[in-house]
C-alpha cells in the first residue's frame, strides 16, 4: 500500500476483486457512489451483467407508507420531473431500509393532487431499471435509481391514441442500439434511443406486448400468443416463429391465464398459472422454448434447478430471474410475487400452501394506469450494459 495516496488510489484489479465479494445490489451501488475512481473501476468491471444474475432484483413498492430517509446511492434530486418516495426492499439485505423516487403523477390523487404532479401521464411498462410513462404522444423513460429522464420525440399518432398496451426497452438507454418499443393496441412503434424519429413496425394482425431479451436477441408475443423474433439491425424486422401447441409434455395455447416470457439462464420460458390472480392453492408452471423441431414447441419444465423467477404485479413489467438464490437466503425453483407488501414464494409445480402468517394469498396482477409493486434491477447491472 506504500506509495498510494489514499483509498481513491487503489488499483482497479484490487477493486474488481472487492466487487466480486459483494452480496447485494445496495452494496454495489454504495461502492460505485463512493468516489469517482471507484465508480470508474466499477464501470470497467469485466462483466457487470454477470453480477446481475447473482442477486435478487429489488422490490419497489410505491404505496408502502413508511419510507426510509436514506435514499439509494446515486439518486439524483434535481431533475425537472416531480417525484415522490418509493419504498425499496432488497431481499439480500432485508435489514437495510431503502428509499427510491418515482415520478409524481396526478392520477390516483383526484382533486388532492399536488400542483406539481404530472397531469394525464400513466404507467406503461418497466424494464432494465426504468419505468416508462406516457401521455398521448409523449413518453418519459425514468431511471428509478438515478432519477435520469430520457424523453423520446413525440409519437406520430393522433390525439386520441394512448399507450395502454405496454412499453419496453430492449436494453438500458446508455447501451449501444437500445430501442424503446411501445404498443398502442393497434400498432407498434420503435424508437432508437438518441434518434429523432419513431418507426412503425408491427406483426401482421397484431402487436407485440410481451417483450424479453434472451441471449442478446429480442423476442415478443402478441395477444394471440404468437411468438416473434425482433431484429433491430441492419433494419427493424419482425419474424414470426411457428409454434405447435398441445401434444405430449406441452400445453394448449390458452392453458395459462397470463403467460410471461422469461429469460432464465439458457432457457427462454413461458411462465404462468391457470388463475388470473395467483393465490393460495394455485400452481405456477413453466415451459421452455424448444427450437430444435419445426415448428418449435413449448416443453414443460419440471424444475428450475438453481434458478428463481420474479414476477411483478403489473403484467407489462418484464419478469426477472436470479441464479443460486440460496446465496442470499432465497429458494431455488420458486416464483416470487408480491402480496400485501410482502413477497411470497410459489414453488414451481406445487400448489401454494397457506400458513399462519399468510393464511390466504391473493396476488393482484393488473394492467392499469398507476404504478404497482414491481421487481427491478438497477440499469447499470442490466444485461446488455457491458462494454
Q: What are the DSSP calls for 242-259, one per residue?
A: -EE--STT---TTSSSS-
| pLDDT (0 to 100) of residue 82 | 85
| pLDDT (0 to 100) of residue 385 | 47
| pLDDT (0 to 100) of residue 16 | 85
Q: Give 271-328 as a DSSP string.
A: EEESSSS-BTT--EEEEEEE-SSSSEEEEEES--TTEEEE--SBTTBPPEEEE-GGGG
- Local confidence band at 97 (pLDDT 50, 70, 90 cut-offs): confident
Q: Comparing 9-23, 69-83, 361-375, which segment has the lowest mean pLDDT? A: 69-83
Q: Comparing 85-99, 262-276, 342-356, which segment has the lowest mean pLDDT? A: 85-99
Residues in Cβ contact with 314 at an 8 Å cutoff, skipping those fewer than 6 apart: 123, 125, 126, 365, 366, 367, 368, 371, 372, 374
Closest CA to 194 of 219, 214, 223, 174: 174
Q: Comparing 10-14, 57-61, 290-294, which segment has the lowest mean pLDDT? A: 10-14
Dist. CA 148–CA 54, nearest whole Å: 25
Mean pLDDT of 286-299: 96
More confident of the two residues 86 and 335: 335
The C-alpha cell of 1 is what?
500500500
| pLDDT (0 to 100) of residue 123 | 94
| pLDDT (0 to 100) of residue 78 | 46
Closest CA to 307 of 298, 320, 297: 320
Cis (ω within 30 of 0) for the bond into 234?
yes
User: How does DSSP classify residue 96?
Assistant: S
- Please classify residue 168 by burial: count the beta carbons closer than 10 Å to its beta carbon, then call 0-12 exposed, 13-18 middle and 19+ buried: buried
Q: Comparing 9-23, 271-285, 295-309, which segment has the lowest mean pLDDT? A: 9-23
| pLDDT (0 to 100) of residue 2 | 46
Mean pLDDT of 230-259: 94
Dist. CA 10–CA 41, nearest whole Å: 10
Q: Which residues on adjacent β-strands are paired with residue 323?
A: 307
The C-alpha cell of 178 is what?
437500445
Maximum mean pLDDT: which of 163-177, 297-311, 356-370 = 297-311
| pLDDT (0 to 100) of residue 4 | 45
| pLDDT (0 to 100) of residue 327 | 86
- Local confidence band at 70 (pLDDT 50, 70, 90 cut-offs): low
Which tens digits make up the pLDDT trace of 357-387? Answer: 667 888 999 988 999 999 998 887 765 444 4
> Cell match 426510509: residue?
68
Termini Cα distance of the chain: 30
Q: Comparing 7-21, 199-213, 246-260, 262-276, which segment has the lowest mean pLDDT? A: 7-21
More confident of the two residues 340 and 151: 151
Amino acid at each position: 500500500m506504500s506509495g498510494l495516496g489514499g483509498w481513491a488510489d487503489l488499483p482497479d484489479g484490487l477493486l474488481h476483486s472487492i466487487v466480486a465479494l459483494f452480496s447485494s445490489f445496495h452494496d454495489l451501488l454504495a461502492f460505485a457512489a463512493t468516489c469517482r475512481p471507484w465508480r470508474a473501476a466499477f464501470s470497467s468491471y469485466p462483466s457487470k451483467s454477470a453480477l446481475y444474475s447473482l442477486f435478487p432484483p429489488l422490490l419497489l413498492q410505491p404505496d408502502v407508507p413508511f419510507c426510509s430517509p436514506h435514499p439509494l446511492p446515486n439518486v439524483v434530486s434535481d431533475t425537472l420531473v416531480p417525484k415522490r418516495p418509493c419504498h425499496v426492499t432488497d431481499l439480500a439485505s432485508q435489514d437495510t431500509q431503502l428509499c427510491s423516487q418515482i415520478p409524481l403523477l396526478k392520477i390516483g390523487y383526484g382533486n388532492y393532487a399536488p400542483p406539481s404532479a404530472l397531469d394525464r401521464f400513466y404507467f406503461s411498462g418497466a424494464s432494465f431499471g426504468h419505468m416508462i410513462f406516457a401521455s398521448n404522444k409523449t413518453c418519459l423513460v425514468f431511471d428509478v435509481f438515478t432519477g435520469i429522464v430520457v424523453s423520446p420525440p413525440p409519437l406520430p399518432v393522433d390525439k386520441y391514441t394512448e399507450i395502454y398496451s405496454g412499453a419496453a426497452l430492449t436494453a438500458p438507454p446508455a447501451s449501444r442500439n437500445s430501442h424503446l418499443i411501445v404498443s398502442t393496441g393497434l400498432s407498434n412503434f420503435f424508437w432508437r434511443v438518441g434518434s429523432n424519429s419513431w418507426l412503425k413496425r408491427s406483426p401482421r394482425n397484431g402487436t407485440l406486448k410481451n417483450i424479453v431479451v434472451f441471449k442478446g436477441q429480442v423476442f415478443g408475443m402478441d395477444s394471440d400468443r404468437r411468438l416473434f423474433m425482433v431484429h433491430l439491425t441492419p433494419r427493424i424486422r419482425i419474424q414470426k416463429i411457428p409454434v405447435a401447441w398441445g401434444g405430449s409434455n406441452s400445453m394448449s395455447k390458452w392453458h395459462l391465464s397470463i403467460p410471461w416470457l422469461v429469460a432464465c439462464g439458457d432457457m427462454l420460458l413461458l411462465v404462468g398459472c391457470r388463475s388470473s390472480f395467483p393465490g393460495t392453492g394455485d400452481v405456477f408452471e413453466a415451459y421452455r422454448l424448444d427450437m430444435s423441431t419445426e415448428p418449435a414447441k413449448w416443453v414443460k419444465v419440471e424444475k428450475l434447478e438453481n434458478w428463481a423467477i420474479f414476477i411483478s404485479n403489473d403484467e407489462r413489467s418484464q419478469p426477472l430471474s436470479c441464479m443460486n438464490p440460496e446465496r442470499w437466503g432465497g429458494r431455488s425453483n420458486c416464483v416470487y410475487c408480491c402480496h400485501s407488501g410482502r413477497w411470497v414464494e410459489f414453488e414451481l409445480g406445487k400448489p401454494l400452501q397457506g400458513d399462519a402468517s399468510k393464511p390466504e394469498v391473493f396476488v393482484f396482477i393488473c394492467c392499469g394506469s398507476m404504478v404497482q409493486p414491481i421487481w427491478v434491477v438497477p440499469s447499470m447491472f442490466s444485461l446488455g450494459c457491458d462494454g
